[in-house]
Amino acid sequence: MTTILLSSVFGPYGVDDAYGRKENIMELFHNQVTREQGIFSLRINHPSFGLHLLAENIEAGAKVLDFPSQKRFIKEIKKNYDYVGISFITPNFLKAKRMAELVRKHAPNSKIILGGHGTRIPEIREQIDCDHVCTGEGVYWLRELFGEKVDRPINHPKMGASVSHRIMGVPRPAESAVLIPGVGCPNACRFCATSHFFDRKYTPYLHTGDEIFALCQEIEAHTGLTEFFVMDENFLKYRERAERLLELMERAGKQYRFGIFSSAETIQSVGVPFMARLGVHFLWMGIEGKEEIYEKNKDVDFVALIETLRDAGISVLASGILFSEHHTKDSIEEEIDYMVSLNADFVQFMELGPLPRTALYDAHRKNGSLREDIPYEEWHGQHKIWFDHDHFERDQTPAILKGAFERDFQVNGPSLFRLFETVVRGARNAANFPQAYDARRQQLVRQCKDYRPILRWFKRFAPTPSMRQQAVELDRQYTELLGPESWLDRTKSFAIWPLVMKLALADKAGRTVFQPPTLETRYRLRESGLSWRNIATFSFAGVRQVSPATTG
């Protein structure tokens, strides 16, 4: 049988070394959303979903190696796989290059395949010694390379969407499973790496509501999880699919919940009540900027929309772009104020970044403003821009970006407070909704109960008087909904104290970068006494144990 090792790039991440930069943290929230929120920052690692999707959908024996060290990677490649697949994004170019060198040195018979967004770097074949490059969608591409039947149905991974999820240092079990209905987006906003990478079109893996519903049931049976992190650029855009999913859920009395990405035009078109019924509890929305330069945001009142979403118990991540070409020293301040004024649960600020082969990149390259002399490790959008801006020097951008995150924190308080508020708000308001919402209301109430023990530490650690006031008010709202704290709540609350304290001390000492654990998952691969059955999915400290075969 053909064998393949599918690996993410090696760590450590988020440190200044020969291969990376300290700003490049392997976490979504702490990297680019709650990064200036100290101990209130949400800390989550996500496994490399794409690699698991590939491994599930080929016939070859495969191993997915996530977050290895160089040493661990070398140990693994010495097993002489037929192929070694390396997945990388642009800022990890040097890591991918180093890994390819290691394969040539330690496993000269293995063929090297490069995949992921980094492959759009110009002349990548000349820059990294390799045998094959997949410059877009990977499942169908890999099946073709291996001479397999390309259009057979997709076998979706059944795995948790996160590892090492912590709130204020307190580990939480994996709350959601990953669901990948498709990749790409036809909107082709000029800066958008994903849309361009997948050739400005949507490639579905799950075509119908029936398929998605059946998969949700299967994942639930396999992992016990009923919440899904939906990796799809614009899940609700394919309305018929979503409507059918809701129909089937309601018919079967299933209360699944979904965290999704969606553009404003789509949200307006399906409406917030539909989303609430479907069980959307988290929404990532690209606001991009105050000025309406993107078609998807035409005529949208974001303040009102976000208020309505939060009233329905849907927490919102609003994403904004800084250092757009039209930004001046004054207008960028207005932009930041605008993003802060939206009062979303979470705000992402990202620097405008011309990433390879986007329309934005091509335009800057053409007019000579792209700074191709800046190493790719610094093309990540959380420090200095890598193009010449008419109104900003590169050295000025980190402080402005940091200031934006700080302003959001100071004005709106910790995102965790906002999230907890949205949940209690949703639970309260759902009481006014028709009966169809009752089960949703109960879910939100359960979530409030689950969150409650941590409220004490919100009050204790709130860094400013206004945040303390915010925490006290939150506590009041929870008491109003749930009644007075029980002895069990208090016991739980005091039980987590050492963990919160440990985090606070680490934060004070500046130890804020956490490395994800190395994870390996075997698929159809006979090794260490394990046999041909599919043994994917995660087990990890604090994560529901789904299979004994994955080692962390």
Binding site for ligand SF4 (CB under 6 A): 185, 187-189, 192, 194-195, 233-234, 263, 286, 296
Asked if residue 142 binds ligand B12 (CB under 6 A), the reply is yes
3-state secondary structure of 373: coil
Q: Which two tokens stand for residue 108?
A: 């000269």
Which of the ranges 82-90, 383-391, 428-436, 443-451 carries the binding residues for ligand B12, by CB under 6 A?
A: 82-90
Which segments of 323-422 are extended strands (E)? Answer: 346-351
Residue burial 480-506, b: 16+ Cβ < 10 Å; e: rest? ebbeebeeebeebbeebeebbbebbee
The CB-of-14 to ligand B12 minimum distance in angstroms stands at 7
* CB 455 to ligand B12: min, Å: 27
Q: Does 134 engage in binding with ligand B12 (CB under 6 A)? A: yes
Question: What whole-number distance in Å separates Cα of residue 267 and Cα of residue 261?
Answer: 10
Return d(Cα 44, Cα 103) in angstroms, integer. Answer: 30
Please give the Cα distance from 506 to 503 (Å, whole number).
5
CB of 32 to ligand SF4, least distance (A): 15
Cβ-count burial 280-290 (b if 16+ within 10 Å, e if not): bbbbbbbbbbb
Does the footprint of ligand B12 cover residue 324 (CB under 6 A)?
no
Q: Which stretch binds ligand B12 (CB under 6 A): 26-34, 304-312, 367-375, 496-504?
A: 26-34
Nearer to ligand SF4, 189 or 344 (CB): 189
Applying CB under 6 A, does 408 fall inside the site for ligand B12? no
Give me the helix-helix angle, 465-482 and 415-430, nearest 10°: 30
Backbone φ and ψ of 302, nearest 5°? -70, -35
Pairing between β-strand 163-167 and β-strand 43-45 as defined by DSSP bridges: antiparallel
26 binds, among ligand B12, ligand SF4, none (CB under 5 to 8 A by kind): ligand B12
Candidates 48-56, 409-417, 424-432, 544-552; binding stretch for ligand B12 (CB under 6 A): 48-56
Q: Say whether residue 139 binds ligand B12 (CB under 6 A).
A: yes
Distance CA(78)–CA(106), nearest Å, equals 6
Token pair, residue 517, equals: 């654990």
195 binds, among ligand B12, ligand SF4, none (CB under 5 to 8 A by kind): ligand SF4
The nearest distance, CB 428 to ligand B12, in angstroms, is 32
Of the two residues 246 and 293, which places its CB atom closer to ligand SF4 in the complex?
293
Contact 148, 208 (CB under 8 A): no
Q: Which of 39, 53, 206, 321 binds ligand B12 (CB under 6 A)?
A: 53
* Dist. CA 479–CA 121, nearest whole Å: 54
- Residue 296 interacts, among ligand SF4, ligand B12, none and using kind-specific CB cut-offs from 5 to 8 Å, with ligand SF4
Gyration radius (Cα) of the chain, Å: 23
Of 290, 295, 382, 292, the residue nearest 342 (C-alpha): 290
Task: Please tell me whether residue 13 binds ligand B12 under the rule CB under 6 A.
Answer: yes
Site string for ligand B12, 268-307 (x = CB under 6 A): ----------------------------------------
Amino acid at 117: H
Report the sign of the C-alpha dihedral through residues 382, 383, 385, 389, in that order.
positive
Q: How far is the CB of 525 from ligand SF4 (least distance, A)?
A: 35
Taking CB under 6 A as the criterion, the residue among 89, 276, 336, 347 binding ligand B12 is: 89
58 lines the binding site for ligand B12 (CB under 6 A): no
Q: Is the CB of 263 or the CB of 443 nearer to ligand B12?
A: 263
Tokens read off for 484: 């007075």
Question: Which residue's CB is nearer to ligand SF4, number 164 or number 187?
Answer: 187
Contact predicate 31/43, CB 8 Å: no
| Partner from ligand B12, ligand SF4, none binding residue 47, C-beta < 5-8 Å depending on class | ligand B12
Q: Would you tell me which residues interact with ligand B12 (CB under 6 A)?
A: 6, 8, 13, 24, 26-28, 31-32, 46-50, 53-54, 66, 85, 87, 89-92, 113, 115-118, 134, 137-139, 141-142, 180, 183, 193-194, 231, 233, 355-356, 380-382
